[in-house]
Homo-oligomer: A and B are copies of this chain.
Amino acid sequence: MESSRTRREVTRQKLYEAAVTLIAEQGFSSTTVDEIAERAGVAKGTVYYNFKSKTELFEELLRHGVGLLTASLQAAADETAERGGTKVEALDAMIRAGLGFIDRYPAFTQLYVAELWRTNRAWQSTLLVVRQEAVAVVETVLRDGVTNGELSKEIDIPLTAAALVGMVLVAALDWQAFQRERTIDDVHSALSLLLRGRVSGH
């Protein structure tokens, strides 16, 4: 049972990995279950032994991926706080963590962005929950920064959080897709400059 959970775990992981790249490339509907099974090196029957349906496989994939992202953002924020860093430093660390995540799981990010704002989809409610968890991490840091006077009281927390997340997401996807020659540090510096307001002026 202990060992069987492991075997099952391994198969599920292989299926996640196969599904995430295929769906990122082609979208959910034009990715077939046969393709996923083949890429994972597993029989089609196994997919249905492990997941109720193609949709359920996808929903669990979303939960799994956003869980990793949220944990990584939270860890970056916590480390900065422990070191006694400022909130801007925490945001900076979170940008870096976000970039690291996207670098490690570009397909997942792509797929997440592609699905996030769609309405009328089976997994809409799953996405809503999962998005809220991720955005909440950023919002909390912003709120703390305003409370302790480090950040301007004028900022609109939910909108600024969304804008920051968007800035990182889009810059990173663009980097992956169109500007491969850049290093993660290049991207991080560009975003850091924007965050710290050093674009205009000097």
A119 within 8 A of B: yes
* A115 to chain B: closest residue by CB: B114
Kindly state the separation between the CA atoms of A188 and B64 in the bound complex, as whole angstroms. Answer: 34
Known: A167-B163, A174-B166. A156 touches B186 (CB 8 A): yes
Cβ contact within 8 Å between B189 and A156: yes
Tally of this chain's copies? 2
Q: Is A160 an interface residue (CB 8 A)?
A: yes
Asked whether any CB of chain B lies closer than 8 Å to the CB of A68, the reply is no
Instruction: Tell whether, in the assembled complex, residue A194 and residue B117 are in contact, meaning their CB atoms are under 8 Å apart.
Output: no
The residue in chain B whose Cβ has the minimal distance to the Cβ of A28 is B27
- Residues on the B chain within 8 Å of A179, using CB: 158-159, 162
- Choose one: B24, B159, B171, B186; the contact of A186 (CB below 8 Å): B159
Residues in B whose Cβ lies below 8 Å from that of A116: 173, 177
Residue among B28, B163, B174 making CB contact with A194, cutoff 8 Å: B163
A111-128 toward B: CB 8 Å interface, digit per residue (1/0)? 001111111110000000
Interface 9-mer from A6-14, A36-44, A45-53, A146-154: A146-154
Min C-beta distance of A176 to chain B, whole Å = 7
* A199 engages B193 (CB within 8 Å): no
A residues contacting B by CB (< 8 A) are 24-30, 88, 110, 113-121, 131, 150-152, 154-156, 158-160, 162-171, 173-179, 182, 186-187, 189-191, 193-202
